[in-house]
Amino acid sequence: MKIIDKVFGSYHDEPVMEYTLVNDSGMSVSCLNYGCIITKIMVPDRNGNTENVVLGFDNLEDYIDLSPYFGSVVGRVAGRISNSQFELDGEVYRLTPNEDPNHLHGGKKGFHAVIWKTESIKMENAVGLKFSYRSLDGEEGYPGNLDTTILCLLNNQNELSISYEAVTDKKTIVNLTNHSYFNLSGNVKRDCSEHILQLESNRFLELGSDLMPTGRMMESSNTPFDFKHGRLLKSGMKSSHPQNVLAGNGYDHPLLFTKKGENTVVLSEKESGRTLLVTTDQHCVVLYTANQLEGPYSISGVRARNYLGVCLETQGLPDAINQPDFPTIVLNPEEVYKATTKYRFFSNTIGV
């Protein structure tokens, strides 16, 4: 196992490095110290062909100018915050409205758009990277100095583990996730309509016309949001269900796990034989099928179009700070925010 590093570009006169974690099983993961962006995940298909299974760019400029959060860590708070404001202990905090009037994925200078201090880690059974960043009190409108550490580890079982920790010196809110767009066909050969998703969830959050959660938790049984027995993603893309249509003909919805504690999500593509097993301790997974990806740019030589990737954003519930019935995302000075999600890749279909 090894770590390879190279200069990827420069941001505000600081070097941006790309680190590639390589295991002994034919898998590698490449990350930037800018935004903790995962640029590539190289895994073999059923025939042993190793290809990239996430969307990304070949240069830093495209990540800065064009990227819809490809592969990045998003925070301080993932998802949308309604009207770009929230109240804590009687004080109203106003955030950057980067999706006017709402606040999205931590704002303009969110965790996706800063340089992280990076340390390489070599263990007996894994290699990895430790990213750290101090978000200053008032950054994008959030209270408190927030010190965040992200540990990415790759082992020989083709498993990438991402663990998040954060502490604050003032009461604040935190909800972190990784925003990778997966495409198990490899090298963007096909879109994700034939991907199969399976997870234990019986409810999802209803969205309003602005894609903000309304606060209502809807039953998923007998709808395109029922993934208990595995479902092709195209069933939601072609669905006439009002929530699928509202999201741009597809999914952009938090799916709530049935049980507390550790939960699994299985994504597979039959033609390549690849399967991704996601294990997480979070409350939900936001399923986004890239319904608004179309644009005048290319992704690894492929013209950007809708449905080229699928995001599985494991996190707390979006806009939880403004929804009293949602689990809290408040972090107090005496507490430590912790979250872990693991991504394990197989070259044969399991679980669906």
Q: Which residues are catalytic?
A: 179, 313
Residue 332: C-alpha distances to residues 35, 120, 144, 170, 179 (Å): 25, 30, 10, 7, 25
111 DSSP assignment: G
330 Rama sector, left if φ>0, alpha if ψ -120 to 50, beta otherwise: beta
State the DSSP code for 223.
Answer: S
What φ, ψ does residue 315 adopt, rounded to 5°? Answer: -170, 180
Contacts within 8 Å (CB) and 24+ apart, 117-120: 117/33, 118/17, 118/19, 118/33, 120/3, 120/5, 120/19
Nearest to 184 by CA among 71, 272, 279, 265: 272
User: DSSP character for 303?
Assistant: E
Residue type, 225: F
Residue where the block lists tokens 């013209």: 303
Backbone angles phi, psi at 237, to 5 degrees: -65, -30
Return the closest-CA partner of residue 64 out of 109, 19, 17, 117: 109
List C-alpha distances in Å: 85 to 82, 109, 248: 7, 16, 26
